[in-house]
Amino acid sequence: MSVGVSRGGARRVFAHDWGDMARVRDAASWDAGQYARDSRFVSDLGEPLIELLAPAAGERILDLGCGDGALSAKLAARGCSVVGIDSSASMAAAARARGLDCRVADAAALPFRAEFDGVFSNAALHWILAPDTVLAAVARALKPGGRFVGEFGGAGNVSAIVRALRAALAGGGADFDELSPWYFPSPEEYRGRLERVGFRVTAIDLFARPTPLPGDISAWLKIFAAPFIEAPDGGADAMYDELRERLRPELWDGEKWTVDYVRLRFAAVLDAA
């Protein structure tokens, strides 16, 4: 699921020793068909979050980074009036094809004012490098007393993949930290940010969720690590192959690939000021 990523819209170009020029591309270039084929587990694993939100029929809910609307549809099936936003036109179109109200919008510049009973976000907030801006926008969108429930990558998330990327990039003189579009905070850090914009945190938890993939790690990398890799003339395939081999000792057990997810899950209530 994708949301606006704050890299100033810039496309950054760097050289590395994988042989080609590669560039960090806009993380919001998603393909809904590819996502549905290789990443359906992301929305499947987000279902417990709906229970944490405990939506009541008639409530107005904003799904932040709704992707293709799989979870928005479940909220709508419970009688909620759901608005989804996603930065990807492809994802938003897939959500609208389900009959949902889904708009292409930047999570950091939400146009809503005190109109939602709840804001829900699964697997999206780790794409936003301006967390305080987004949290302030969420607080503005909620009615006083409204709930914000979310889950995303927390501290230590995909650490084997980060190590592999860091090593591959460093080999070419590029710096992972400078290029990464990912934000994986600790519970302490995120609690502080929530509280500073007026939320009372009712639950926040960091937990490991090793997740077996339905297919090859290359499919995961091509969707989620694509912002690091773009090269002409098949050069990207060589990069994905290199990453795959770097990851094999840690993530392949002889039968399947398992991604080392760590999730940060929270629930918070906006102070009725």
Binding site for ligand BEZ (CB under 6 A): 123, 126, 153, 157-158, 182, 224, 261
Strand ranges in the chain using DSSP code E only, listed in sequence order: 12-15, 21-24, 60-64, 81-86, 101-104, 116-122, 142-153, 199-212, 258-270
202 residue type, one letter = T
User: Closest distance between ligand BEZ and the C-beta of residue 37, in Å?
Assistant: 16
Q: Using CA atoms, how far apart are residues 20 and 44, in angstroms rounded to an integer? A: 37
192 Cβ contact partners less than 8 Å away, ≥ 6 residues apart: none
Torsion of CA 124, 127, 129, 133, to 10 degrees: -30
The bridge status of strand 101-104 relative to strand 81-86 is parallel
Whose Cβ is closer to ligand BEZ: residue 20's or residue 260's? 260
Whose Cβ is closer to ligand BEZ: residue 116's or residue 224's? 224
User: Closest distance between ligand BEZ and the C-beta of residue 187, in Å?
Assistant: 15
Whose Cβ is closer to ligand BEZ: residue 71's or residue 142's? 71
User: Closest distance between ligand BEZ and the C-beta of residue 112, in Å?
Assistant: 25
**Which residue, 79, 85, 119, is CA-closest to 102?**
85
User: Closest distance between ligand BEZ and the C-beta of residue 82, in Å?
Assistant: 22
User: Closest distance between ligand BEZ and the C-beta of residue 4, in Å?
Assistant: 15
User: Closest distance between ligand BEZ and the C-beta of residue 161, in Å?
Assistant: 7
User: Closest distance between ligand BEZ and the C-beta of residue 183, in Å?
Assistant: 10
Q: Tell me the backbone φ, ψ of residue 263, rounded to 5 degrees.
A: -105, 145
Q: Using CA atoms, how far apart are residues 137 and 126, in angstroms rounded to an integer? A: 16
Q: Where does residue 255 rank: exposed (0-12), middle (13-18), buried (19+ CB within 10 A)? A: exposed
Whose Cβ is closer to ligand BEZ: residue 61's or residue 158's? 158
Whose Cβ is closer to ligand BEZ: residue 148's or residue 228's? 228
* DSSP code of residue 257: B
Whose Cβ is closer to ligand BEZ: residue 148's or residue 220's? 220
The closest residue (CB) to ligand BEZ is: 153
Whose Cβ is closer to ligand BEZ: residue 69's or residue 181's? 181
Q: Helix, strand, coil shares of the chain as percentages rounded to 5?
A: 40, 25, 35
Q: Using CA atoms, how far apart are residues 37 and 161, in angstroms rounded to an integer? A: 21
